[in-house]
Amino acid sequence: MLHDILGLAMFGSAFALLLTGFPVAFALAGCALVFFAIGLMTGAIPYAFLQAFPQRIYGIMTNDVLVAIPLFVLMGVVLERSRVAEELIDTCARLFGAVRGGLGLSIFLVGALLAATTGVVGATVVTMGLMALPPMLRHGYSRSLAAGSVAAAGTLGQIIPPSIVLVVLGDQLGTAYQSAQLALGNFAPETVSVGDLFAGAVVPGLLLVLLYVLYQVLVAWLRPALAPALPPEARDLGPSPVATVVRAVVPTVALIVAVLGSILGGVATPTEAAAVGAVGAILIAADRRGRRSALVARSTAAALLALLVLTAFVDLRLGREVVTAGQSAGILIAAALCALVAAGLLHALWRLATDGLLKTIARGTTDVTAMIFAILIGATLFSLVFRGLGGEDLVKDALSAMPGGPAGAVLLVMAVMFFLGFFLDFLEIVFVVVPIVAPALLQMEGIDPVWLGVMMAVNLQTSFLTPPFGPTLFYLRGVAPPEVRTADIYRGVAPFVAIQLAVLAILWLFPALATALPRALYG
């Protein structure tokens, strides 16, 4: 009885403390230490329980999967600070501006492309808010439609891989799934990887983009005055339109193919693909720094592409007992290509440093990465103490007692996560809620971990758009022109939140949308 009271009080206190705006990492860790002290004094938890915390921290710091986070963040920050994203937005707007609602369609296309190359929602929303929102307003778009389109397109990085939320969800669900299998007596459990979630999120992410586009087309058709076409002078692509489009779009698409294609094709792990993406983003940024830098960057990109192709066809592992002549030649070629890539990367970094970009890129990447890992460490301490107080058993019993069995339990968790999204950031929900509820859910019959992860990711995406504390709303409010009121932003995002919930319902009815591709790729 005392365990239950302390567990509920601990969760309620942490939630109340988070609502005050106190830094998340310190709120979770401080709440955990206070209730650990109370449990220690009342005999509800032994002192030795906290001795596992240093091992948990060491596990976080040595987790290969989590290394992908700073690399994906670096990739997004480089593309945003080097103005590559701005060029993409401007080119696509001119390309689609001839049709009614075309500017809005270009926003969703750019949002999907940036989502597949960055996964950093804040940077995408700010960039699109600065570059796309003023032209939409200037050419007669409705304030609410323009604001809602930019906000929704900016949050696509939450669900379209590579996504930071999919990385952290994959790590948390992988641990939870192994715990659930061990609890069921399976001592050789299968694993759930970040790559599984990446593959599972591809179709739902594209479905979400399609529904956004259909909504934009419907509004432009029914109410043309809200989404007019651009005048001819605003659609000019310059003397060489094809070259302009190729220069803006092809590097981004190539980066998507290199990163996402290498993951889904089994050529690279998410962490390895993130490293390739970070290098590719740096080369794309250097390509814009002058003719000489462009030549070096393109040569380096060609060497990197050749290295990826070589990796797919030749076993380059060292230390084997038997090495064929072909493998020896492949290793020598790979070493030469690595040297070329290293030299080109150093030149690109030097060029960015001389232009004053490297410092801001490094600082931006460090800020975001440090915030994520600080929250993860605080949430780890919180989960450890919560389990010590019997909170995990309490949650398991509550979910097991839900009417409707596993379906009712999942529905309850989805409803709670959606409600928490009005007040908490997605990282807070992932690191606090998922470790508590996922082991209990995954012990129930018929719940696929990949489907559950994708459902959670789509659900968490709504937290970026739901007032009063949706981060995207604050990002957009900070960069929007003065004539765009907060009420316009709230009205604008409402239809897109409804579309996200519709995708959640479709996934509920058709789980194969999330599970078919991972099974086809990985069996």
121-170 pLDDT tens trace: 666 777 777 777 787 787 778 888 888 888 888 888 788 887 778 888 88
- Distance between CA atoms of residues 69 and 64, nearest Å: 10
Q: What is the pLDDT of residue 21?
A: 66
Q: Kind and range of the H or E element at 197?
A: helix 194-222
Higher pLDDT, 236 or 132: 132
Mean pLDDT value across residues 354-378 = 83
pLDDT for residue 400: 67
Asked whether residue 404 is assigned to any structural domain, the reply reads no
Helix axes 194-222, 486-509, angle to 10 degrees: 120
Q: Map residue 43 onto helix, strand or coil.
A: coil
**What is the pLDDT, as a whole number, of residue 210?**
92
Q: What angle do CA 376, 377, 383 make, to 5 degrees?
A: 85
Residue 417 lies in a domain: no
Q: Are 174 and 427 in contact (CB under 8 A)?
A: no
Q: Which helix (H) or strand (E) holds 176?
A: helix 164-183
pLDDT digits (tens, 9 = 90+) for 81-113: 777 777 777 777 777 767 787 778 888 888 888
Q: Is residue 471 part of a domain?
A: no
Distance CA 199, CA 197 (A): 5
Other CB atoms within a 10 A radius of the CB of residue 356 amount to 8
How many angstroms separate the CA atoms of 209 and 215, rounded?
A: 10
Lowest mean pLDDT among 206-220, 341-355, 390-404, 437-451: 390-404
Cα torsion for 142, 146, 147, 148, to the nearest 10°?
100
Taking only the tens place, the pLDDT of each residue in 310-322 is 877 777 776 666 6
Gyration radius of the chain over CA positions: 24
Q: How many CA atoms lie within 13 A of 181 on its CB side?
A: 15
pLDDT recorded at residue 477: 75
Q: How much of the chain exceeds pLDDT 70, in percent?
A: 91
- For residue 332, the enclosing domain spans 65-160+202-363
Q: What is the pLDDT of residues 427-469, one digit of tens each?
A: 778 877 888 888 888 888 778 888 999 999 898 888 888 876 6
- Residue 46 preceded by cis peptide, ω within 30: no
515 token code pair: 């599970």
Cβ neighbours, 10 Å, residue 495? 18
Do 45 and 385 form a contact (C-beta atoms < 8 A)?
yes
- Residues 339, 361: Cα–Cα separation, whole Å: 24
* Secondary structure letter of residue 35 according to DSSP: H
What value does the mean pLDDT of the chain take?
Answer: 80
Residue 467 lies in a domain: no
User: Would you state the pLDDT for residue 322?
Assistant: 64
Q: How far, in Å, CA of 144 to CA of 403, rounded?
A: 40
Q: What is the rounded average pLDDT of the residues 340-345? A: 88
pLDDT at 112: 82
User: Cα–Cα distance between 284 and 286 in angstroms, integer?
Assistant: 5
What is the arithmetic mean of pLDDT over 40-60? 77
Between 434 and 325, residue with greater pLDDT: 434
- Spatial contact of 133 and 146, defined as CB atoms under 8 Å apart: yes
3-state SS class at 289: coil
Domain membership of residue 2 (yes or no) is no
- HEC profile of 433-478: CHHHHHHHHHCCCCCCHHHHHHHHHHHHHHHHCCCCCCHHHHHHHH
Q: Is the pLDDT of residue 73 over 70?
A: yes
pLDDT reported for residue 7: 72
Q: What is the pLDDT of residue 249?
A: 78
Distance CA 4, CA 398 (A): 12
CB distance 225 to 140 below 8 Å = yes
pLDDT reading at 212 higher than 70 = yes
What is the pLDDT, as a whole number, of residue 508? 92
Per-residue model confidence (pLDDT) at position 392 = 67
> In this predicted structure, what is the pLDDT of residue 179?
79
Highest mean pLDDT among 269-283, 376-390, 460-474, 507-521: 507-521
* Structure tokens belonging to residue 167: 């990385």
> Residue 240: its pLDDT value, please?
73
**Residue pair 305/258 in contact by the 8 Å Cβ criterion:** yes
Find the mean pLDDT for residues 333-342.
Answer: 87
Specify the pLDDT at position 144: 87
What torsion, rounded to 10 degrees, do the Cα atoms 167, 168, 170, 175 define?
A: 150
**Residue 436 and residue 395 in contact, taking contact as beta carbons nearer than 8 Å:** yes
Highest mean pLDDT among 117-121, 210-214, 516-520: 210-214
d(CA 310, CA 294): 24
| b/e 86-114 (16+ beta carbons within 10 angstroms → b) | bbbbbbbbbbbbeebbbbbbbbbbbbbbb
**Length, in residues, of the chain:** 523
Cβ-count burial of 519 within 10 angstroms (0-12 exposed, 13-18 middle, 19+ buried)?
middle
- pLDDT-based confidence at 214, cuts 50/70/90? very high
Bond into 482 cis (ω within 30) = no
DSSP class of 25: H
Under DSSP, is residue 71 helix (H, G, I), strand (E, B) or coil?
helix
| Integer angstrom CA distances of residue 330 from 25, 80, 161, 184 | 47, 36, 31, 46
Number of domains forming the structure of the chain: 1
| Separation between Cα atoms, residue 497 and residue 501, nearest integer Å | 6
